[in-house]
Amino acid sequence: MKHYNKIFIWITFFILVILFSSVFFFFKQTREARLETLGDHIISNFRAGLAYEMTDLLSLSLALAEDAAIKNALLNDNESQGYEILRNITRRFKKYTHLQSLRIQLLTPDFYIFARSWNEGFEGMPIWWFRDDLQELKHNKQPKVGMEIGRLLTFKATIPVRSGKKLIGYLEAIKLIDEFSVKLRRKGIELFALMDERFLEQAALMRNFPVIHNHILANQNYYQQGKEKLQAIDWNKLEKKTYMLHEGTYYLLEPMHNGKGDKIGVYVLALSQKALKNYENEKQGFSFFTQFSDEDMQNVVASWAHPFGSFRNGYDKELIELLPRLKKEDKQEFESEAKSILGEYNKEELIDIILSNKHNEKKTGVIK
């Protein structure tokens, strides 16, 4: 009898082991399937958001390429006039729209710099030798847009400028990927735009940027803690599966292509467990990227209603923002004036200014 009891116990034990193993395997497979499905949907939305960014920049560039003043500057070979026009255009866009990192440059038909919105002194410098993407314009002379490698990795929209049928130059609008990463952050997604290290010779201004798994981190508004966590993951596993959960963070990998379609790096999207859960609870058919244009419009309206932010006027705002950029020996006089001006502000106004400045600071420290 004892012999049969032992057999029964062992059989029961093995059945329970098989049962628990099956349950564990089922839940693991279900979890994997859930993560994969969510990842596919998030990546699909990410692609839509990326396409919106490029379409937005292309539309702007097409409109500017028809500007009569820009055409006159090119036709008259007036580089100084070109610089003033571009500088004023970008100032207006930065003041009244969401395009805070916008830069514009004019190129000659042979791809030499004619004028730039952000500085003077580079007129006549060739850029074709480090801009492989410009080669196709020699042949088709058609508008193009994409994530392109120059001195920096940025969104670039390049448009032929014509006087009648004659090609007189090119207008190029440039935007940092940092603005796109801010939009994603509002949705709970941290973006790491990683350029392949082999392009570093072209992208000379990125030589001191962080290196992550043989890639250069292009967007500079990253969180230091997030960067360190990304450096610690099994990169080969992520490349193979394109998604993984590591220490409470869900990572997704998406290839980065230039306008021509060549792979130049990868995008890594990182979501916390909370962000993943919030997204999972949303309706799968809803794309959060469709809100981007609405948010941009809200930001524009806000800038019209409060053009000086928390300051009372433009002079106060410009003076306070100037101080951190001054050398130590130049600061004393301006600091006295700034203290006098801020002394006229009430407590609530000063708090608003402090909070606004804190919100705009670049965050690179570790959150404790």
Residue 88 scores a pLDDT above 80: yes
> What amino acid occupies position 244?
M
- For residue 221, give the nearest of 343, 349, 87, 362 by alpha carbon: 362
pLDDT at residue 280 in the model: 75
Give SS3 for 149: strand
Q: How far apart are CA 215 and CA 235, in angstroms?
A: 11
- Predicted confidence (pLDDT) at residue 210 exceeds the cutoff of 90: yes
Residue 349 identity? E
Q: Is the pLDDT of residue 350 over 90?
A: no
Distance (Å, whole) CA 360 – CA 340: 24
Residue 174 has pLDDT above 90, yes or no: yes
* Beta-bridge partners for 254: 267
- Token pair belonging to 284: 């799968």
Which one is predicted more confidently, 359 or 65? 65
Cβ-proximal residues to 197 (8 Å cutoff; 6+ apart), any chain: 211, 214, 215, 216
Q: What does the pLDDT read at residue 304?
A: 45
Model confidence band, residue 300 (pLDDT cutoffs 50, 70, 90): very low
Q: Which two tokens stand for residue 58?
A: 């292309």
Give the pLDDT confidence score for residue 76 in this predicted structure: 96
Residue 249's pLDDT band (cuts 50, 70, 90): very high
Higher pLDDT, 309 or 41: 41
- Span of 1-10, 259-268, 330-339 with lowest mean pLDDT: 1-10
- Each as own residue / partner, the long-range contacts of residues 83-90 (CB below 8 Å, 24 or more positions apart, any chain) are 83/115, 83/116, 83/117, 83/120, 85/115, 86/115, 86/116, 86/117, 87/117, 87/118, 89/64, 89/117, 90/117, 90/118
More confident: 1 or 320: 320
So what's the pLDDT on residue 27?
Answer: 43
Tens digits of residue pLDDT in 65-86: 999 999 999 999 999 999 999 9
pLDDT in tens, 260-292: 899 999 999 999 988 888 877 764 444 555 455
